[in-house]
Amino acid sequence: MRVTRKGQVTVPKRLRERFGITTETEVEFREDHGRLVLLKKGAATAVAKIRGRIKRLPIGGDVDDYLRLTRRDE
């Protein structure tokens, strides 16, 4: 496997299939004891994408307060 002039590498098809890497998959490189390791970003990434979009619950309290408020009509 070679690195292109643009710094790109191709992950072999058998490895992409084995690890579920698609065109939508986010990956990152990390150094690990002098080696370069490719990591597939997991579910935590999905959470990180929405973190910060929801600033706080509508009433400014915790989840229990919110549930009590929304279930008053039941």
Domain count, the chain: 1
Output the pLDDT for position 35.
94
Q: Which domain holds residue 23?
A: 13-70
Output the pLDDT for position 8.
92
What is the distance between the alpha carbons of residues 21 and 55, in angstroms, rounded to a whole number?
32
Report if residue 3 sits inside a domain: no
Which DSSP string do the residues of 11-42 spell out, in sequence order? Answer: --HHHHHHHT--TT--EEEEEETTEEEEEE--
Report if residue 44 sits inside a domain: yes
What is the distance between the alpha carbons of residues 68 and 26, in angstroms, rounded to a whole number?
38
Residues with Cβ within 8 Å of residue 29, at least 6 apart in sequence: 36, 37, 38, 39
Check pLDDT > 80 for residue 20. Answer: yes
* Average pLDDT for 28-51: 79
Check pLDDT > 60 for residue 70. Answer: yes
